[in-house]
Amino acid sequence: MSEAAVSDPLWVQLAYLVAAILFILALKGLSSPKTARQGVLAGAVGALLAVVVLFFSGIELKNLALILIFLAVGSIVGLVAARRVKMTAMPQLVALFNGVGGGAAALIAVVEYFEVGSSDLLFLIFTVATVIIGSVAFTGSIVTFLKLQELMTSRPVVIPAGRWVTILVAVATIVVGVWLVVDPQDWLLVALLILSSIFGVLFVLPVGGADVPIVISLLNAMTGLAVAASGYVLGNLLLLIAGTLVGASGTVLTNMMAKAMGRPLTSTLFGAFNGSTAGSTAAGSDRPVRSATPNDVAIMLGYANKVILVPGYGLAVAQAQSTLRELADLLTEKGIEVDYAIHPVAGRMPGHMNVLLAEASVPYEQLKEMDEINPEFSSTDVVLVVGANDVVNPAARTDKTAPIYGMPILNVDAAQQVVFLKRSMRPGFAGIENEILFDPKTSLLFGDAKETLTKVVASLKTV
């Protein structure tokens, strides 16, 4: 451990304490919708305080100009990316931000190892921990980014003998890590960096599409731990506290998400290992479905008493949130009861759909969570599913071989009639067929969600 922390002046240490408190308040604030924005503000103020104080804390800062240039460039890149990203692509951006944070932690530990040299046992252990966890978070996040950005398949990737390759790499990583602690040599650190990076890729590859959000959350918690470990390596208390806070809260959050998906964390991470994700009803694609015209759908909706809208990621991709709201407003004007049913993982991440609909000014009170809306379906005349699939797929209840088995779903099959707005018969993100599509009470309206919704709205005005 370096002596930096010990020699920090008192006012610097107090400033770091204030920053740590602000981080705790940030997480606390983010736990409630009312205080969430203050929470973010508290966190940002804490981070700004910490970085500014660091520059005036009297630590040795050679290369100040270069540091400031790289700091500025990184800030601008982060700012522009965060401002420019479409809300639909936000999950992968969060994954990417998380990854670079993990990568930074790993690199810091590497440099500190070379700078300080090596003697202290705990220093070496934490250096190894930072490098491993940081590298895994880095490459793992890059793979999740590629999956969500659809630059590679979102399905589980099972490489031949992948399980054994993964185990082999994991064992090799641990062996090299232990070796490095016992007998510190530079080339071992490089080997460790490479091995744990490979492990990060292998670790995320077999994770199926619908489980990717859980993995992002897990990798986020891991980056937190890497940062905490790097805090120990550098003897910086604030990094230790901030990293630990994120690691702990991230673990809780990961667990909550896994629960919302109805699956234990272990099966998310290792499900694909068992090869159980082979499509169960691949033969279903040729079966007849009932397709409808926008006019049919408008009539169905116009004469209903109660309508539930089920928005999914497809809605967001088509940027049709406002059109859907227009439809809902029109139905409400006609005296029809309208609710939005929001599945916990609608969209690409938990809560993603709420963000997307709020963007389209949908009143918050109309958004009903799954537990609240599920008993309502049996008394509903028409359910309009717009660009959603996996979250209404009864295979989650019945088909034990389905990758989404056990996930709580919206019981749209209990309603009188179901209308699906879909681009095609292509299965959802989880890559499995949906039996409801072939149900006699189901009608399908094919096409771009925005176009078809606009047509439905137009016909509804004449009904």
Partner 1 sequence: MDGIALLTIFILSIFVGFEVVSKVSAVLHTPLMSGANAIHGVVVMGAIIVAGKAQNNVELAIALIAVLLGAINLVGGFVVTDRMLEMFKPKKAPAAKEGGAA
CA distance 2 to 127: 12
Q: How far is the CB of 238 from partner 1 (least distance, A)?
A: 7
Residues of this chain, 189-218, that bind partner 1 according to CB under 8 A = 216-217
Q: How far is the CB of 288 from partner 1 (least distance, A)?
A: 37
CA distance 249 to 264: 18
- Asked if 364 is part of the footprint of partner 1 (rule: CB under 8 A), the reply reads yes
Per-residue contact track with partner 1, 328 to 347, x per CB under 8 A?
-x--xx----------x---
DSSP state of 338: E
Residue number with CB closer to partner 1 (223 or 434): 223
- Asked if 44 is part of the footprint of partner 1 (rule: CB under 8 A), the reply reads yes
Query: Which of 201, 355, 414, 425 contacts partner 1 by CB under 8 A?
Result: 355
- Asked if 27 is part of the footprint of partner 1 (rule: CB under 8 A), the reply reads yes
- Asked if 40 is part of the footprint of partner 1 (rule: CB under 8 A), the reply reads yes
- Asked if 242 is part of the footprint of partner 1 (rule: CB under 8 A), the reply reads yes
Binding residues for partner 1, rule CB under 8 A, total 118
Residues of this chain, 256-295, that bind partner 1 according to CB under 8 A = 256-257, 260
Query: Which of 12, 15, 88, 90 contacts partner 1 by CB under 8 A?
Result: 90
- Asked if 91 is part of the footprint of partner 1 (rule: CB under 8 A), the reply reads yes
| CB-based burial label for 114 (10 Å; 0-12, 13-18, 19+) | exposed
Strands, E, within 158-272: which ranges? none
The crossing angle, in degrees rounded to 10, of helices 90-116 and 352-359 is: 120
- Asked if 311 is part of the footprint of partner 1 (rule: CB under 8 A), the reply reads no
Which among 390, 399, 413, 439 is annotated as catalytic? 390
Residues of this chain, 67-86, that bind partner 1 according to CB under 8 A = 67, 70-75, 77-79, 81-83, 85
- Asked if 18 is part of the footprint of partner 1 (rule: CB under 8 A), the reply reads no
DSSP state of 150: T
Query: Which of 12, 92, 101, 263 contacts partner 1 by CB under 8 A?
Result: 101
DSSP β-ladder status, 306-311 and 382-386: parallel
The three state secondary structure string of 253-321 is HHHHHHHHCCCCHHHHHHHHHHCCCCCCCHHHHHCCCCECCHHHHHHHHHCCCEEEEEECHHHHHCCCH
How many other β-carbons are positioned within 10 Å of the β-carbon of residue 172?
Answer: 16
* Beta-carbon-side half-sphere exposure of residue 318 (alpha carbons within 13 Å): 25
Q: How far is the CB of 317 from partner 1 (least distance, A)?
A: 17
**Whether residue 390 lies in the annotated active site:** yes
Query: Which of 18, 24, 158, 289 contacts partner 1 by CB under 8 A?
Result: 24
Residue number with CB closer to partner 1 (31 or 285): 31
CA distance 184 to 173: 15
Tracing tokens 């109309």 back to the chain, one arrives at: 366
Q: How far is the CB of 109 from partner 1 (least distance, A)?
A: 9
Query: Residues near 136 by Cβ (< 8 Å), separated by ≥ 6?
Result: 102, 196, 197, 199, 200, 203, 219, 222
Query: Which of 128, 315, 349, 391 contacts partner 1 by CB under 8 A?
Result: 349
CA distance 392 to 436: 8
**Stretch in the footprint of partner 1 (CB under 8 A) among 23-31, 293-301, 302-310, 427-435:** 23-31
CA distance 263 to 406: 6
Query: Which of 139, 153, 197, 239 contacts partner 1 by CB under 8 A?
Result: 239
Residue number with CB closer to partner 1 (34 or 400): 34
Residue number with CB closer to partner 1 (85 or 299): 85
Can you read off the two tokens belonging to residue 425?
């018969």
- Asked if 51 is part of the footprint of partner 1 (rule: CB under 8 A), the reply reads yes
Amino acid at 354: N
Q: How far is the CB of 422 from partner 1 (least distance, A)?
A: 25
Residues of this chain, 103-122, that bind partner 1 according to CB under 8 A = 103-105, 107-108, 110-112, 114-115, 122
Q: How far is the CB of 352 from partner 1 (least distance, A)?
A: 5
Q: How far is the CB of 93 from partner 1 (least distance, A)?
A: 6
Query: Residues near 247 by Cβ (< 8 Å), separated by ≥ 6?
Result: 221, 222, 224, 225, 227, 228
Q: Catalytic amino acids? A: 390
